[in-house]
Amino acid sequence: MLAEPGTSDRILVTMSNAGIRRQGRWLVRGIDLTLRKGEIVTLIGPNGAGKSTTAKLAIGVLKADEGQVQRSSGLKVGYVPQKLAIDRTMPLTVERLMRLTGPLSKDRLDAALYAVSIPHLVKAEVQHLSGGEFQRALLARAIARDPDLLVLDEPVQGVDFAGETALYQLIGEIRDKTGCGILMISHDLHVVMAATDTVVCLNGHVCCRGTPAAVSQSEDYRRLFGASRPGIAFYNHQHDHTHLPDGRVQHRDGTITDHCHPEDGHHHDGHDHDHHHGHEHSHSHSHDHKHVHAPDLTGDRHA
Ligand SMILES: Nc1ncnc2c1ncn2[C@@H]1O[C@H](COP(=O)(O)OP(=O)(O)OP(=O)(O)O)[C@@H](O)[C@H]1O
């Protein structure tokens, strides 16, 4: 008998009630988070909310003082930290940057640079790269060793709007091609983050989570970031509800609940809460329900 594509074998990291304490203060606490193959999870939150700390806990750079963090055995992580201990004014070629973290065959190095569309920059000096090219070089370095999980701390820093859109598109393509899981960190929701499957809004603890569209409408998000955020646009499908591969339920407003009981979810609007397993579905589309699709902002790249 063919088994349903399992969800447990797709799990890369499970954080259960994880917390970390420094100098008598909890930097983050009560973090529940699951990272799976093929999924993009984005952590958002204001400065100091604990996004980098949570990412470091997830990959084992930091150890939890409370709760548990479990990683699948032999998990290979590609990590682009927020700050690099590299002096960008020192002479350093892209090729050497790629090898600073360990040996890498020429074939893999070239393939990774090709995947991020900068194969011509292999001999370029890092100090001469544009912001977007530098982020691509870091991304190439992180994907070169075939990671199961890619962790990208502020992957679009120093990149203009068009470059940002292209970079998020590229990150989505890397996920599609390699099937790796991706944990991203961003200060805020952004139009292209609609490519993200799940947004987790942090402020020392998990304030809310769900699709980008759902989180942007949630009270917690609005409280944290202010009521109106310009530039957020989502391409929404009208779902009644969708059963995610891991058994959770995504409601029409984009919220995700573990169970089908209305009281379990983050329901704010007082209607459309009667989604139960076994009741009538009204899916009228045939695409993969797991993804919220970004608007096509990248047409020029396909021209
Ligand atoms: N080793 C440490 N000792 C004490 N405090 C720390 C340590 N590391 C981080 N912090 C504090 O923990 C909090 C969370 O830091 P973190 O870098 O995770 O936040 P962040 O959400 O990634 O912020 P930003 O958006 O500014 O990058 C901050 O208040 C920071 O000052």
What's the pTM value of the predicted model, to 2 decimals? Answer: 0.74
Task: Indicate the range of 9-23, 160-174, 214-228, 279-293 predicted with least confidence.
Answer: 279-293
Residue 190 is encoded by which pair of tokens?
């952004």
Asked if residue 129 has pLDDT above 70, the reply is: yes
Spatial distance between the Cα atoms of 145 and 283, rounded to a whole number of angstroms = 40
Ligand 1 atom at minimum distance from 45 CA: 21
| Average pLDDT of the chain, as a whole number | 77
Which is more confident, 43 or 157?
43
Spatial distance between the Cα atoms of 134 and 167, rounded to a whole number of angstroms = 11
Spatial distance between the Cα atoms of 249 and 134, rounded to a whole number of angstroms = 39
Domain 11-76+147-296 has CATH 3.40.50.300: yes
User: What confidence tier does 271 reach under pLDDT thresholds 50, 70, 90?
Assistant: very low
Q: Percent of the chain, pLDDT > 70?
A: 69
Asked if residue 253 has pLDDT above 80, the reply is: no
* Cβ-based burial of 48 (10 A; exposed 0-12, middle 13-18, buried ≥19): exposed
Distance 53 CA to ligand 1 centre (A): 6
Distance 165 CA to ligand 1 centre (A): 27
Distance 273 CA to ligand 1 centre (A): 37
ipTM score for this prediction: 0.97
Spatial distance between the Cα atoms of 279 and 166, rounded to a whole number of angstroms = 41
DSSP bridge partners of 209: 200
48 lines ligand 1 (CB under 6 A): yes
Please tell me the predicted confidence (pLDDT) of residue 299: 29
Asked if residue 100 has pLDDT above 70, the reply is: yes
